[in-house]
Amino acid sequence: MKFDNNLDDLEALGNEHIGTSENTPMRNDAFKLSNEEKIDIIKDDVRHIMETLGLDLTDDSLSGTPNRVAKMFVKEIFGGLDPKKKPSASTFDNKYKYGEMLVEKNITVYSTCEHHLLPIVGRAHIAYISNGTVVGLSKMNRIVDYFAKRPQVQERLTIQVVRELQEVLDTKDVACVIDAKHLCVNSRGIRDIESSTVTSEFGGKFKDMATRREFLDYIKLDTTF
Ligand SMILES: Nc1nc2c(ncn2[C@@H]2O[C@H](COP(=O)(O)OP(=O)(O)OP(=O)(O)O)[C@@H](O)[C@H]2O)c(=O)[nH]1
Ligand SMILES: [Zn+2]
């Protein structure tokens, strides 16, 4: 795909459409406004978009949409931008000395493509090898959900999940594979309903082919979602 080599394009997307950092690009003043203030402003923006499209917002089916969308953006689908929502991951000592790989597979992913603000729907699979600490199983699903609830590219989502678990578990031996459909590819644009995107991040021992193979054998990528 060709890009005009123009600064605006590069800043907006990063080279090759991949975010330029593993951190979500945030403004310095991102948390100056309260959630309620953000909802109030976004509500007017959504109303403006709808009116510009020619919709009559006095219709009782449409009149609540600006507020509904604003609440959904701030509290639900982009709620993971707020670091206060980061799940606290309960960890335990690995008293039972379980030394093999633990895999949490088929974690449902609902995210939003940051280029089109359309849904990304799929599955994440996570594995780690304990270094003396274990994490509550549900916390892995919660960590995926927290980072998914942001405007995302799938590559960054995959990396953010691995980095967070590496920190929580105090080990590099963490891996994540995500297989997801992007509605911006499936329902518009090229409109390829069948294609999905697989991304992976393999840390520490998962860089070893045998360890990686064991993980991939456990998850046997299931493409039915
Ligand atoms: N690398 C990456 N690209 C993504 C992701 N989600 C969406 N995209 C792509 O971002 C690109 C945006 O490209 P543009 O050419 O600026 O947008 P567009 O004109 O709407 O492109 P088309 O989708 O091809 O119609 C598209 O190729 C999307 O498929 C993602 O998670 N990772
Ligand atoms: Zn998109």
What does the pLDDT look like over 128-156, one tens digit per residue?
A: 999 999 999 999 999 999 999 999 999 99
Mean pLDDT score, 115-131: 98
pLDDT digits 0-9 by tens, 78-91? 999 999 999 998 89
User: Residues 185, 8, 160, 211: what is their CA dihedral angle, to the nearest 10 degrees?
Assistant: 70
For residue 204, pLDDT beyond 70:
yes
Sign of the C-alpha dihedral computed for residues 48, 51, 53 and 59 taken in this order? positive
The whole-number pLDDT of residue 21 equals: 77
Segment 202-221 mean pLDDT: 95
Question: In sequence order, what are the residues at sequence separation of 6 or more whose Cβ sits closer than 8 angstroms to the Cβ of residue 72?
Answer: none
In angstroms, the Cα distances linking 72 to 66, 76, 78, 168, 223 are 10, 5, 8, 29, 28
**pLDDT at residue number 126:** 98
> Which pLDDT score is estimated for 222?
54
* Pocket of ligand 1, beta carbon within 6 A: 17-18, 113, 115, 153-155, 182, 184-185, 189-190
Catalytic residue among 17, 166, 184, 214: 184
pLDDT of 19 over the 70 cut = no
Cα gap 24→76, rounded to integer Å: 17
Spatial CA neighbour of 126 closest among 110, 147, 102: 102
Topology adopted by domain 29-77: GTP Cyclohydrolase I; Chain A, domain 1 (1.10.286)
Question: What region, left, alpha or beta, does residue 14 occupy, with left being phi > 0 and alpha being psi -120 to 50 degrees?
Answer: left
Q: What is the pLDDT of residues 57-85, one digit of tens each?
A: 999 999 999 999 999 999 999 999 999 99
> In this predicted structure, what is the pLDDT of residue 12?
39
Q: Which fold has domain 91-219?
A: GTP Cyclohydrolase I, domain 2 (3.30.1130)
Q: Quote the CA–CA distance of 182 and 147 in Å, as a whole number.
A: 16
> Are 221 and 200 within 8 A, CB to CB?
no
Domain ranges of the chain: 29-77, 91-219
Summarize the confidence of residues 39-49 as an average pLDDT: 98
In whole angstroms, give the CA distance from residue 125 to residue 108: 9
Q: Which of 214, 199, 98, 205 is nearest to 157 (CA)?
A: 199
**Which residues fall inside 5 Å of ion ligand 2, going by CB?**
113, 115-116, 184
Confidence of residue 20 (pLDDT cuts 50, 70, 90): low
Q: Identify residue 89 by its one-letter amino acid code.
A: A
Confidence check on the interface: ipTM exceeds 0.90, yes or no: yes
At 89 the pLDDT is 85
